[in-house]
Structure 1
Amino acid sequence: ETRDFRIYQDFGHILIACQLYQDEDIGLDIKQAVYALDSTTIDLCLSTFPWAKFRRTKAAIKLHTLLNLCGPIPVFVVMTTGKTHDITIMDTIPVTADSIYTMDRVYLAFERLYRIHLTSAFFVIRAKSNMRFRRLYSNPVDKTTGIQADQTIILTGIESKMAYPEPLRRVRYYDTEKKKRLIFLTNHFGIPAKTVADIYRSRWQVELFFKWVKQHLRIKSFYGTSPNAVKTQIWIALSIYLLVAIVKKRLNLSGSLHTILQILEVNLFDKKPIFKVVSDALKHESHDYECDQLNLFD
């Protein structure tokens, strides 16, 4: 309750600066860094956390995260009350030239997207159904890949064409798994249309990150009720995630982040090198699995 959360925030930023995963292959045929922007809402009790009032009978905080899909590792984290609109966070995220930023249509604000464009960076975002535009050109597409249209357009809405005065690329894609048609906007004209769709699909890693953190790092319930206590606990949880990711990379461990975290929890007070603890546990787990398979067919 009393120790300043910025101690843990600064430590988390130091860990974020360890760019161990920047050259990791993410399964996309591009050399540029790809980042996913999203937020998750953590529900709180209004009577216990009145400072985080969200609705009339509900309190909540939001965790806004920019995730480097190599890793995946968070490179930017901001905590706000639940009332904060996601779009406003676009004004504070770090934007690097020649990088790609993918996000859902809740972030569709053309003046902010144009700022990304002017930074010589790229974006891939879902389009809204009521967007007004005029087609300038249509590229040939291979419909067997799910791509239905690849167009160069300009915006024609009174406000939108002033906010984003340059051409955009509009890609229409049919997701056969979810039986859903998706329309993307991007300022990147130098990659295949299917890659545009794949970049957006990779955005789901940030939602998996939120799910992992909530499930395994105990941030659904809090030990303190003040803003400082909540931020302290969240930054400690994020720092644990980052430390495990760093250990996994540096020691070239084969297990998942969840598995490694479980192993470290069980062996927390063992005076052994981390590599030996995790390696022995993974070997033991593999041996038990093989024994079970043999017994099954005896």
Structure 2
Amino acid sequence: MPHCSTVLSQIVRIFPRHEFQSLANKHHTGQKFRSFTRWTQFVAMLTAQLSGRCSLRDVVDNLAVQGQKIYHLGIKAFSRATLARCNENQPHTLYEELFRRLLGRCQSMAPRNRKFKLNGKIYLLDASLLDLTLSLFPWAKYQKTKGAAKLHVGLDADGYLPAFVDLTAGREHEINLARTLALPKGSYVVFDRGYTDYAWYRELCDDGVFFVSRLKSNAIVTPGKKRRGRKSPGVTEDREIRLGNLSETFRLVTYRDAETDIVYQFVTNALDLPAQTVADLYKERWQIELFFKWIKQNLKVKSFLGTSMNAVKTQLWIALCAYLVLSFLKFQSKIGASLQRMLRILQLNLFERRDLTELFNPPTPENGLQNGQLCLL
């Protein structure tokens, strides 16, 4: 059998060490480290995400028993206090930039979304609350007696990768982050009614960005002419409209779901799309709901190993790096397994010496009876 490094060692090679070190030098504050390094912090926190560790002591003890295997990862034994201090004080921006670099590599490998034959990118926009204890996280103000952080994500529909990410206090409104997004011209952004803002709609139109959203019940609508052409099944109305005091022409598509008999009203500035495509684009928004559900169930983004915003963001960016690692391996190996199944396999084999590509694509066993006693039968 050929020699193999541990599975974890093969995973961290995805992050070139010289690039990581240049980022670590760039994003460093305070005195120089003696034995502990940002690489040690990253490997420890990434291992915590992939193996499901639940506390700092759990992380330290889990790595300490591996002996020589962590030495070959380029890290040394460290204490819980040292890891906690690094999480609290060293800038999380290192892992934000590391995430951006890995995201670019994943996007270059991601399969094209074949559901829609559109020229521009499709982004699915939403935010999700992470409940926090206000006495431990005083910066995460949400309600009078309740704390929360809000995770804002713009999901790229090609490969379902988190292209835009930010974390704020729970009180921060989604639209404030949406206005800062640099969406490429000709792209499509899909969001729910929580992002309704007519001034932002105008900005999207001026930037050449198309959007699809639900119409609020109290929207100020001036009806226009009905659009010509045959309607797709489920589309009950398709007409031009004006919103508020905006001069731009928008479009209202009324759609009845055959399964639930619920009527939806979609507003968009994409005047040339078929009405059915508009409805399908909004239906695709469900993927970002599944993304939030997946990371909350499978990664450590609901309980945190530090209380400062920097520690929380450090853990969050490394969790998203773990998500990109799984996506990278999935795109690279071109397997049909779900990310959850891949994560479960990794959890059982992180410190085993096995080939990473064969781990997800095991060789097919040969047919035929090999046991001599069974052959007698």
TM (norm. structure 1) is 0.88
Shift of 1:142: 5.1
Superposed CA offset, 1:148-201 (max 9, x none):
10001123xxxx31xx31110110111223331111111111110010000001
Aligned equivalents of 2:240, 2:263: Cα separation in 1: 19
Shift of 1:29: 3.6
Superposed CA offset, 1:239-290 (max 9, x none):
0001110111012122111111111121111233311111129x69xx9xxx
Shift of 1:87: 1.0
Aligned equivalents of 2:318, 2:111: Cα separation in 1: 26
Equivalent position of 1:210 in the other structure: 292
Letter in 2 for 1:252: K
Structure with higher Rg: it is: 2
Shift of 1:23: 5.0
Structure 2 SS opposite 1:135 = strand
Equivalent position of 1:116 in the other structure: 204
Aligned equivalents of 2:298, 2:109: Cα separation in 1: 22
Aligned equivalents of 1:9, 1:135: Cα separation in 2: 45
Equivalent position of 1:153 in the other structure: 241
Equivalent position of 2:144 in the other structure: 56
- Are 1:12 and 2:99 matched, yes or no? yes
Aligned equivalents of 1:21, 1:121: Cα separation in 2: 24
1:271 equivalent among 343, 346, 353: 353
- Are 1:3 and 2:90 matched, yes or no? yes
Using the aligned pairs only, state the percent identity.
37
Aligned equivalents of 2:226, 2:96: Cα separation in 1: 48
Aligned equivalents of 2:117, 2:241: Cα separation in 1: 25
Segments of structure 1 that go 5 or more residues without pairing to the other structure are: 288-298
Shift of 1:118: 0.9
1:231 equivalent among 313, 325, 344: 313
2:278 equivalent among 188, 196, 210: 196
Q: Is the 8 A contact 1:20 1:246 kept in 2?
A: no
Superposed CA offset, 1:199-220 (max 9, x none):
0010011110011000000211
Aligned equivalents of 2:264, 2:229: Cα separation in 1: 15
Equivalent position of 2:170 in the other structure: 82
Shift of 1:70: 1.2
Aligned equivalents of 1:26, 1:64: Cα separation in 2: 26
Superposed CA offset, 1:55-85 (max 9, x none):
1111000000000011100111010000001
2:226 equivalent among 130, 138, 141: 138
Shift of 1:101: 0.4
Structure 2 SS opposite 1:198 = helix
Q: Is the 8 A contact 1:66 1:93 kept in 2?
A: no
Choose 73-82 or 175-184, whichever is displaced more. Answer: 175-184
Corresponding pairs, count: 278
Shift of 1:97: 0.8
TM (norm. structure 2) is 0.70
Equivalent position of 1:295 in the other structure: none
